[in-house]
């Protein structure tokens, strides 16, 4: 859409390869269809359940048993996503962007082959190409994984309540899904190979894990599944999971209604003909190395989003990078995308907002002697009356001593963490220091004043 503003002839090729269970979706990519949007809405459903419990202490009286209906929620979420899909189609049409629901692969210089779902092939040529194919969930490669397990690509449109669920993985996807499923009243177990939230601040990651365990989510640590068997068909059916210790030969097994795999995602770069045009990828990860202008080693081919090597995997970041790229190419702009001061939020039951460096990354880059960490626990006022979770919320900033105690890392664990983090991210872009932070008057009584 940005390129179309500059009266360029633009085509979008968008195609969803169905999941092993046969699920696919409309225009808008992962975030809209099987990522941030449905995840946040289901997280909200879980928060409403907690609010109902809290409300009694605030004087609300209701006697009937409160139940959650999965199908009502799933249908409402899918209806909203459908409206977004339609909105994107309309927006492309209004901006005269050609849209093809077809799978694109390079076949030669400046040439791409598009195959639609009926197998009809067309060839197109272009002056420049932008790859933004994203990633798809990884499978374990064990007996029964693709036959019986689901991924986040299946969960949000699941036509039945998943029941007792085993979530395999410790990624933010794993912990967010485990969190809202437990919040909806389901029996949830998380099987973790090693650490929680790799790449995020580990101090915070461990606090998230502790909070989830205290709120009834079971954790099986240092085990990996080696086989999944179907015990009984159904919606949901029953599955037996056999797992092996990562520390020795111990074998355990358990029965669940649903097994959700969230062990990571693989870049969709290996089957789009990049070898035909000479685009280099990281052979191990499939990620594409680019320069600071999102350009691959082939000058007319660019890439943005989750497929980039050593970059954060976030939708708004990909959108920003794409817009800035087009403005540099066609509007004479020079601004490049900032990949460091990027705010993000993990929507676990206790939300985690972050911007800038984790404590580990700051120590590695600037040295332990050159950073100062300020931190504090807090208790949201709204939680005091129901008298729950005292001292579980937490905030910390990481400052660079050598640079006037400039804030280089911001981390907050608590309600509405995303809303809190967004404003601080803007301040960090302006070079926020500890002194400036201390001289800012807090709004009372809110979590952000901590």
Ordered alpha helix ranges (H), 161-201: 172-183
* Average pLDDT of the segment spanning 169-187: 98
| Phi, psi of 296, rounded to the nearest 5 degrees | -80, -175
Q: Indicate whether 64 pLDDT > 90.
A: no
The DSSP bridge partners found for residue 258 are 165
- Structure confidence at residue 63 as a pLDDT band (50, 70, 90): confident
pLDDT in tens, 251-272: 999 999 999 999 999 999 999 9
Q: 3-state class of 167 per DSSP?
A: strand
Residue 186 corresponds to which tokens in the numbers above? 């389901």
Give the span between the Cα atoms of 356 and 372, in whole angstroms. Answer: 14
Contact 223, 140 (CB under 8 A): no
Give the span between the Cα atoms of 144 and 256, in whole angstroms. Answer: 14
Instruction: Name the nearest CA neighbour of 371 among 353, 359, 379, 388.
Output: 359
Residues whose CB is less than 8 angstroms from the CB of residue 129 and which lie 6 or more positions away in sequence, other chains included: 106, 110, 112, 300, 301, 302
Contact 131, 272 (CB under 8 A): yes
Q: Give the H/E segment covering residue 85.
A: helix 70-94
State the number of CA atoms in the 13 A half-sphere of 8 facing the CB. 18
Q: What crossing angle do the helices spanning 36-55 and 172-183 adopt, rounded to 10°?
A: 40
The confidence score (pLDDT) of residue 65 equals 85
- Three-point CA angle 77, 83, 89, nearest 5°: 140
Report, as residue numbers or ranges, the catalytic residues: 444
pLDDT in tens, 16-51: 999 999 999 999 999 999 999 999 999 999 999 999
Instruction: Name the nearest CA neighbour of 421 among 441, 439, 448.
Output: 448
Does the reported pTM lie above 0.85?
yes
Q: 3-state class of 153 per DSSP?
A: helix
Percentage above 90 pLDDT, the chain: 99
Cβ burial of 443 (10 Å; 0-12, 13-18, 19+) is exposed
DSSP 8-state assignment for residue 410: E
């Amino acid at each position: 859409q940005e390129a179309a503003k500059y009266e360029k002839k633009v085509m979008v090729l968008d195609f969803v390869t169905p999941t092993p269970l046969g699920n696919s979706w409309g225009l808008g990519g992962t975030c809209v269809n099987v990522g941030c949007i449905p995840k946040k809405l289901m997280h909200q459903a879980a928060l409403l359940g907690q609010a109902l419990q809290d409300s009694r202490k605030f004087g609300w009286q209701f006697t009937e048993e409160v139940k959650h209906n999965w199908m009502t929620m799933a249908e409402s979420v899918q209806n909203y996503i459908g409206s977004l899909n339609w909105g994107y189609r309309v927006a492309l049409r209004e901006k005269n962007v050609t849209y093809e629901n077809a799978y694109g692969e390079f076949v030669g210089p400046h040439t791409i082959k598009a195959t639609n779902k009926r197998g009809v092939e067309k060839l197109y040529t272009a002056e420049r190409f932008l790859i933004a194919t994203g990633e798809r969930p990884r499978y374990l490669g064990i007996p029964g994984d693709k036959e019986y397990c689901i991924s986040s690509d299946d969960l949000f449109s699941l036509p039945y309540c998943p029941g007792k669920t085993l979530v395999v993985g410790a990624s933010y996807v794993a912990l967010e899904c485990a969190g809202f499923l437990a919040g909806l009243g389901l029996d949830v177990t998380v099987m973790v190979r090693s650490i929680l939230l790799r790449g995020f601040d580990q101090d915070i990651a461990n606090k998230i894990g502790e909070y989830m365990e205290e709120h009834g989510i079971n954790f099986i640590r240092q085990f990996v599944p080696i086989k999944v068997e179907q015990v009984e068909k159904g919606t949901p059916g029953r599955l037996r999971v056999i797992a092996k210790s990562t520390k020795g030969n111990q074998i355990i097994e358990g029965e669940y209604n649903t097994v959700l795999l969230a062990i990571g995602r693989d870049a969709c770069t290996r089957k789009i003909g990049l070898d035909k045009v000479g685009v280099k990828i990281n052979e191990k990860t499939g990620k594409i190395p680019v320069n600071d202008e999102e350009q691959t080693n082939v000058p007319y081919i660019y890439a943005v989003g989750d497929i980039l090597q050593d970059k954060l995997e976030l939708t708004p970041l990909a959108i920003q990078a794409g817009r800035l790229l087009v403005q540099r190419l066609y509007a004479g702009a020079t601004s490049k995308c900032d990949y460091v001061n990027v705010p993000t939020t993990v929507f676990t039951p206790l939300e985690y907002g972050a911007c800038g460096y984790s404590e580990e990354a700051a120590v590695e880059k600037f040295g332990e002697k050159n950073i100062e960490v300020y931190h504090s626990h807090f208790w949201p006022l709204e939680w005091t009356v129901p008298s729950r979770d005292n001292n579980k919320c937490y905030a910390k900033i990481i400052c660079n001593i050598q640079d006037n105690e400039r804030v280089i890392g911001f981390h907050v664990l608590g309600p509405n963490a995303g809303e809190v983090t967004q404003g601080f991210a803007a301040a960090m872009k302006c070079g926020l220091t500890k002194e400036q932070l201390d001289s800012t008057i807090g709004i009372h009584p809110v979590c952000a004043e901590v």
